[in-house]
Amino acid sequence: MEKETTSTLSDEQRVKELEKELLQAQTELDGLHAELLDLRPDEENRSLITVSESDMKDTLFDTELLRNIITKWLGDTELSEADRRRLFGSGVRRYGFLDKVSDIMETNPKFTPSFLNEANFKKLIRRLEVARNINVVLQQTVRASSDVMLILGDEAFRSALMYYGAVRDASIRRVPGARELFLILQQFFRRPRPTEEEPTEEETLRDAKALLHGKKDGKIVIEHQRPHLEGGQHVVVDQIHEEKFNEKLKIEK
């Protein structure tokens, strides 16, 4: 009887110690969260979220207007990829040659063929220069616009990960309703795998390690039959992804 009482008291003390450690960890987590909230204004000031949305919409309108203007220059002309490669090699890459011919033609007009209009040729050179400058500006614009898109996408993804982490932690602490939301969001981090195909050895080993470390739910069954006269069958049944998918279906229903 004395041993049972001592064991019971020991378990109760252990539970109290665990509760105390959990409370301390929660306090530290709340402190870190408060520090994060204090840093949030400075982070937002450095973020592209400070860019005016109306300015971005106006820029989009101006960009579409510029696209329509340049499209009108082309008219009904539509170049194939083969045409683009051929024309790029015949004129744009040889701009130095074109510029030199224009200078020599001006000082030596006697060699100009009668069917070649010198004035029109010089107009072509001037318009080509303007088109090159437009192309350079647009390339710089595309690069800058792409950088803006990448930065905004990264900021949005990090914010989404913060929410996902909060839902995951709530699911671990068994907060009502968190488990269902966690399973829905978790699907975005799973690599799709056809159910009719047998998983690869690498995938099976990875799933087995996840099961051993308690990072996934499910089971893996490996069956192997080896007859005496001929090669047998080796079947791997990995139900981890299948069970997760079934749980998702239940949630959606």
The verdict on residue 36 lying in a domain is no
User: Does the pLDDT of residue 29 top 80, yes or no?
Assistant: no
Per-residue pLDDT tens over the stretch 76-126:
888 888 888 888 777 777 888 888 998 999 999 899 898 998 889 999 888
Asked if residues 190 and 244 have their Cβ atoms less than 8 Å apart, the reply is yes
pLDDT of residue 252: 54
CA 99 to mean position of chain CA atoms: 45
112 and 178 belong to one structural domain: yes
Domain range enclosing 123: 75-189
Q: At which of 171, 189, 207 does a domain end?
A: 189
128 and 174 belong to one structural domain: yes
- Partner residues linked to 221 by β-bridges: 237
Q: Where are the alpha helices (DSSP H) in the chain?
A: 2-46, 53-74, 81-87, 95-107, 118-172, 178-186, 201-212, 240-252
167 and 201 belong to one structural domain: no
> Could you tell me which residue, 61 or 219, shows the higher pLDDT?
61
The verdict on residue 93 lying in a domain is yes
The verdict on residue 210 lying in a domain is yes
216 and 132 belong to one structural domain: no
Q: Structure pTM? A: 0.52
> 220 phi and psi, to 5 degrees?
-125, 125
Question: For residue 215, which of 246, 187, 240, 250 has the smallest C-alpha distance?
Answer: 240
Label residues 223-240 b or e (16+ Cβ within 10 Å = b): eeeeeeeeeeeeebebeb
* Token digits of residue 103: 């200078």
Per-residue pLDDT tens over the stretch 191-244:
766 555 667 778 788 888 887 877 777 777 776 666 555 555 555 555 555 555
Distance CA 62, CA 83 (A): 29
180 and 104 belong to one structural domain: yes
Distance CA 92, CA 177 (A): 62
Q: At which of 143, 161, 189 does a domain end?
A: 189
The verdict on residue 51 lying in a domain is no
111, 112, 252 from 115: Cα distances, Å: 12, 8, 74
